[in-house]
């Protein structure tokens, strides 16, 4: 087992990883930007070092600074969390070249699955159903020809994309060229890669993802699925496990996910994402080669600590359980708490936390890095916490989440807890019939106005 790990992230996920290290008796090293000198993850870690200015490119994306610090502090491994460098194959390769264990899959796996178009082809060859679409495109003429073949409506998606960026919906041929140009520009700015691909636009569908763990000894297990269909502009807001899908579909998704892991040569914690049409058909969307924001709902229904197992697998340990040991118990829901005002076009909010009261009670969990007196900087993602609950049934979990949201108090900034409460109270969510276009339609109809 490792004796010292550098945590190359910030916010709640850095706190989550550092806590896991403490429980495992591993020394943790935090990195932070100048804007994060008072951040919770810095005070919780055994050691903390400033690596640059507030802008992510000067600190949390500064690969050379992180590698240099890891070597100087004699860290054996680096945990990237999610976001920032978590799916950067160049960073994973740098770790490998410097004899540092990257807590995640090998760099070549990240590269292969990070190219969304290439990943689709890999899955197609492995027999996993994929959404009709194109290969990677690099010129408008080929793109236009492929669009005509696929038919409208369709999606233009960044080949190296993630987090909902670089995606454009094209409903008719007349708007294709403009949206193609915009998607390429956004992809180049966000990921340094302007290549895109096309995908048939399927609606209505649910966004279902399957959690897997794979060790270095050929063992792969599926830890159930999550419904992540409550989205705004391709950004997830509420996640739950298990999903309201037929048992036979659940089994087929699990089997397909093992095929994905085998085809990818996967190692570590990963998530296979699908679109499900409600008629028994599902299609491979992409594979996230990292820990997901919504991993706590899986932990709650399986009692498996995903972060600890990431670390153990990276250290060479075999999985201590098999698929026969995994069963989903009860129901868990997660609400992302963002520093934003949903009633003013989701305007971001930053500032000092004047008062904080965290909900309590059995099976209520709040993963966060904020504290009373903490000042939220304006340079990073708006998510400030994740409220997670667990209960025996879905109806009980919804009631527990509503109670927890009502109890949560964060004064000094604007946040979206009341908005999350509205979503949970909607007929579509309560019936579990909601799909990926639910929130956009609901917002358009003024379902959230105050």
93 and 190 share one domain:
no
Judgement on whether residues 73 and 137 belong to the same structural domain of the protein: no
The C-alpha atoms of residue 132 and residue 196 are separated, in whole angstroms, by: 15
Residues 115 and 88 sit within 8 Å (Cβ to Cβ): no
**Residue with tokens 């793109």, as numbered in its chain:** 143
> What pLDDT is recorded for position 176?
96
Q: Are residues 298 and 355 in the same domain?
A: yes
Boundary (domain end) residue, out of 181, 200, 219: 200
Residue at a domain's end among 88, 103, 118: 103
Distance CA 143, CA 379 (A): 35
Asked whether the beta carbons of 260 and 220 are under 8 A apart, the reply is no
- Which residues have a Cβ under 8 Å from the Cβ of 299 and sit 6 or more positions away? 305, 306
pLDDT in tens, 38-82: 999 999 999 999 999 999 999 999 999 999 999 999 999 999 999
Determine, yes or no, domain membership for 376: yes
Residue 158's nearest CA partner among 127, 179, 132 is: 179
3-state SS assignment for residue 396: helix
Nearest to 198 by CA among 239, 161, 252, 163: 161
- Flag whether 97 is in a domain: yes
Phi and psi, residue 169, nearest 5°: -90, 125
Same-domain status, 86 and 136: no
Residues 218 and 293 in one domain: yes
Task: Provide the domain count of the chain.
Answer: 3
Kindly state whether residues 188 and 211 are assigned to the same domain.
Answer: no
**Whether residue 342 sits in one domain with residue 267:** yes
| Same domain assignment for residues 380 and 237 | yes
Residue 450 located in a structural domain: no
Distance between first and last Cα of the chain:
53
Which structural domain, as residue segments, surrounds residue 178?
A: 132-200
| Separate counts of helices (H) and strands (E) for the chain | 15, 22
* pLDDT value at residue 302: 98
Catalytic residue among 112, 290, 336, 365: 290
Is 234 a domain residue?
yes
Q: Are residues 350 and 419 in the same domain?
A: yes
User: Does residue 352 fall inside a structural domain?
Assistant: yes
For residue range 89-108, list pLDDT tens digits in order: 999 999 999 999 999 999 99
Would residue 382 count as lying in a domain? Answer: yes
CATH number, residue 136: 3.30.1490.20
The neighbour count for residue 197, using CB atoms within 10 Å, is: 22
- What is the distance between the alpha carbons of residues 440 and 450, in angstroms, rounded to a whole number? 17
Least Cα distance to 183 among 148, 159, 202, 150 occurs for 159
**Coil vs helix vs strand at 437:** coil
Return d(Cα 368, Cα 281) in angstroms, integer: 37
298 close to 223: Cβ distance less than 8 angstroms: yes
Same domain, 188 and 221: no
Nearest partner of 276 among 301, 298, 242, 253, judged by Cα:
253
Same domain, 291 and 411: yes
Asked if the structure places residue 73 within a domain, the reply is yes
CATH of the domain at 44: 3.40.50.20
pTM of the model: 0.92
Residue 154 β-bridge partners: 170, 200
* 290 in catalytic set: yes
Answer yes or no: is 119 within a domain. no
| 395 and 246 within one domain | yes
Q: Low-confidence residues of the chain, pLDDT below 70?
A: 161-163, 444-450
Structure tokens belonging to residue 308: 């600890």
Strand segments, DSSP code E, in 179-249 are 196-200, 206-214, 220-232, 235-241
**The pair of three-digit structure tokens given for residue 176, joined into one six-digit string:** 């294709």
Helices (H), 73-106: 89-97
The Cα-based distances of 207 to 247, 265, 281, 290, 446 in angstroms read 16, 24, 12, 18, 24
**CATH code: domain of residue 386:** 3.30.470.20
């Amino acid at each position: 087992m490792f004796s010292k790990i550098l945590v190359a992230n910030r916010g709640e996920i850095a706190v989550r990883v550092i806590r896991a290290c403490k429980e495992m008796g591993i020394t943790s090293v935090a990195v932070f930007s100048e804007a994060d000198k008072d951040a919770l993850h810095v005070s919780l870690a055994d050691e903390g070092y400033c690596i640059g200015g507030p802008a992510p490119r000067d600190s949390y994306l500064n690969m050379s600074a992180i590698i240099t610090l890891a070597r100087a502090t004699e860290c054996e491994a680096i945990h990237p969390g999610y976001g920032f460098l978590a799916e950067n194959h160049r960073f994973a390769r740098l770790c490998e070249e410097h004899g540092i264990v990257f807590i995640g899959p090998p760099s070549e796996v990240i590269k292969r699955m990070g190219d969304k178009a290439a990943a689709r082809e890999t899955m197609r060859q492995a027999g996993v159903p994929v959404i009709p679409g194109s290969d990677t495109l690099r010129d408008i003429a080929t793109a236009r020809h492929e669009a005509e073949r696929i038919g409208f409506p369709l999606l233009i998606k960044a080949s190296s994309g993630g987090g909902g960026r670089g995606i454009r919906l094209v409903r008719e041929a007349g708007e294709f060229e403009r949206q193609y140009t915009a998607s390429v520009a956004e992809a180049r700015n966000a990921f340094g890669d302007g290549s895109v691909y096309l995908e048939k636009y399927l609606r209505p569908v649910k966004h279902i993802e399957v959690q897997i763990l794979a060790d270095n000894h050929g063992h792969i297990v599926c830890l159930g699925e999550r419904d992540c269909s409550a989205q705004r502009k391709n950004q997830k807001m509420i996640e739950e496990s298990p999903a309201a899908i037929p048992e036979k579909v659940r089994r087929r998704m699990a089997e397909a996910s093992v095929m994905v892991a085998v085809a990818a040569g996967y190692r570590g914690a990963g998530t296979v994402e699908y679109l499900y049409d409600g008629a028994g058909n599902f299609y491979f969307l992409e594979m996230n080669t990292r820990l997901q924001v919504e991993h706590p709902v899986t932990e709650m229904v399986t009692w498996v600590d995903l972060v600890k197992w990431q670390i153990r697998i990276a250290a060479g340990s075999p999985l201590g359980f098999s698929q026969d040991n995994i069963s989903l118990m009860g129901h868990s829901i997660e609400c992302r708490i963002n520093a934003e005002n949903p009633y003013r076009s989701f305007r971001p909010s930053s500032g000092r936390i004047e008062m904080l009261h965290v909900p309590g009670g059995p099976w209520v969990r709040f993963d966060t890095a904020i504290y009373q007196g903490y000042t939220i900087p304006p340079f990073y993602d708006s998510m400030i916490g994740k409220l997670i609950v667990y209960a025996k049934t879905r109806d009980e979990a919804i009631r527990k989440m509503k109670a927890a949201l009502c109890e949560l108090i964060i004064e000094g900034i604007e946040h979206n807890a009341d908005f999350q409460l509205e979503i949970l109270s909607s007929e579509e969510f309560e019936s579990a019939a909601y799909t990926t276009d639910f929130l956009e339609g609901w917002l358009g109809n003024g379902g959230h106005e105050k």
